[in-house]
Amino acid sequence: MKMRLVVLIIAAMLVFTIYSWATALDFDLFGQLYLRYLSLLFAPLGLLFIFFQFVFVSRIKTIESGFGLDRMFRWHRIFGRIGLFFVTFHMILIVFYRFGAYGEILADTFIWVGIAALLGFMITAGLAATYKKLGLAYEVWRNIHLANYLLFPFVMIHVFFHTQTGSLLYYLWLFLAVLFFAIVIYRLARIAAVRKNPHEVVEVRQEAEDIWSLFFDGPRFSYKPGQFMFIQLLRDGILSEPHPFTISASPTAEYRSITPKQLGDFTKTIKDTKVGDRAFIDAPYGVFSILNYDRGEPVFIAGGIGITPFMSMLRYMRDQKFDKKVTLFWANRNEKSLCFQDELEKMQEEMPGFRAILVMSDQPDWPGVKGHLRGPMILDQLESIEGKEFFICGPPAMSRATMTELKQLNVPPSRIHSELFEL
Quick one: what percent of the chain has pLDDT higher than 90? Answer: 54
pLDDT of residue 27: 61
Per-residue pLDDT tens for 214-246? 999 999 999 999 999 999 999 999 999 999 999
Buried b (16+ CB within 10 A) or exposed e, 362-379: ebeebeebeeebebebbe
What does the mean pLDDT of the chain come to?
89
Q: What pLDDT, in 10s, does the model give residues 242-251? A: 999 999 999 9
Check pLDDT > 70 for residue 103. Answer: no
Q: How far from 82 is each of 48, 53, 77, 149, 344, CA to CA, in Å?
A: 10, 10, 9, 18, 45
Q: Residue 31: is its pLDDT beyond 60?
A: no
- Tell me the percentage of the chain whose pLDDT exceeds 70: 95
With a cut of 60, say whether residue 112 has pLDDT above it: yes
Q: Which domains does the chain have, with CATH numbers?
A: 3-194 (1.20.120), 202-285 (2.40.30.10), 292-418 (3.40.50.80)
Average of pLDDT values for 153-163?
88
Per-residue confidence (pLDDT) for residue 144, from 0 to 100: 80
Per-residue model confidence as pLDDT tens digits over 17-28? 999 888 877 766
Residue 421's pLDDT band (cuts 50, 70, 90) = low
Q: Mean per-residue pLDDT for 40-58?
A: 92
Instruction: Give the pLDDT score at 32.
Output: 55
Q: What is the pLDDT of residue 151?
A: 92
Does the pLDDT of residue 423 top 60, yes or no?
no
Taking residues 164-191, report their average pLDDT: 92
